[in-house]
Amino acid sequence: MISLVQLFIAPAYIAPNNLIMDPVSKDYSLKPYNSFHIEANARYYADFSTVDELAELYNRFPQNRKLILGGGTNLLFTKDFDGLVLKNEIKGMELVSEDSQYVYVRAGGGENWHGLVLYSLQRNWQGLENLSLIPGSVGAAPIQNIGAYGVELKDFLYELEAFDTEENKTFEFSVNDCELSYRDSVFKNRYRNRFVILNVTFRLNKIPKFHASYDLLAEELNSMGVEELSAKKISLAVIHIRTSRLPDPAIIGNAGSFFKNPVLSILEYKNLKKINPLAPGFPQTEGFVKLPAAWLIEQCGWKGYRLGDAGCHVNQPLVLVNYGKASGREIFELSEKILASVKAAFGIVLEREVNII
């Protein structure tokens, strides 16, 4: 009989070299990894859960194009990817420090975004509730500076760590270093395709400072009969709004808002109002006005439009959808037609929020 001590100290089995699994797959289907459910293949595919694994994969394929995948919720494949697709699987959420006013919470770049929101709500840490149910990963959130219902990521981001694929080093970025603005960051511009976000640290409130004045959110809270605000109640209201107005990517392929809301100068907005008195607008800082792209698209008759399996959602024209077997090219061509019609009707050039691959 083998003793428990002997079992414990027995050497680990080492597979022969010819049985060691290669972490890189070839001609790999990306359909399960994009929220549009588009049929597309990667020439090479692998995932990574540590920075060492990431660095090793970059060093192994120095000449190949690279694409980092998080939740796959902000991209549209129009063709196969002739390069290396790497999925961020760095996990973990933890409280790293706190003071009398704030908690500092770090989450791995591969964590699900809504999972982090729930993690903070369970511990009564306030700040992320307005961003409930936004699809995607923690690592992708700063790149896009995600936002909803009067709150943006930059309001609570403290710092992040990112791997520099050119220098093969890890760097820290403060919130100011990230240069966050409306659906934009330094990672979408100057450092595009250079850094991979490993983890993000958020500064959340111990003493709540709720943001519930956004019209749609205020209406939902009122219909719920909420008299005393809490982070959990705001989160529930946001979840109800999103589930009632937006299609579930698990059922109907989509990537959420396909276009950014254009920001006009006050003069441009006044000129638009002369021709379109009902044009809605939301004042921004420094004399600008944000115009809902959904309104522009609906005015051009696209709401509910469908050709084959590519369409514009019946409840939210800002969302383009794949009803089943649409190709990425068909959805892209629909977006081109929408852009052209809005420009022709209003002289406004919309910008895509979704990354086109």
The structure tokens listed for 291 are 């115009």
Distances (CA, A) of 105 to 7, 204, 309: 40, 8, 42
Is the CB of residue 77 less than 8 Å from the CB of residue 328? yes
Q: Kindly list the catalytic residues.
A: 183, 257, 353
How far is residue 119's CA from residue 113's CA, in Å, rounded to a whole number?
A: 10
**CA-based torsion, 341, 249, 184, 46: positive or negative:** negative
Tokens of 313: 């959602």
Dihedral angle over CA of 316, 320, 323, 329, nearest 10:
170
- What single-letter DSSP state applies at residue 172? E
- Amino acid at position 141, single letter: A
What's the burial of 298, exposed, middle or buried (CB within 10 Å: 0-12/13-18/19+)? middle
Residue with tokens 């983890």: 199
Cα–Cα nearest to 328, from 81, 43, 66, 39: 39
**How far, in Å, CA of 316 to CA of 294, rounded?**
7
Residue with tokens 């000129």: 271
132 Cβ neighbours under 8 A, 6+ residues apart: 114, 117, 235, 238, 239, 242
Separation between Cα atoms, residue 269 and residue 267, nearest integer Å? 5
Residues 6+ apart with CB under 8 A from 86: 45, 46, 47, 48, 54, 57, 66, 67, 68, 69, 196
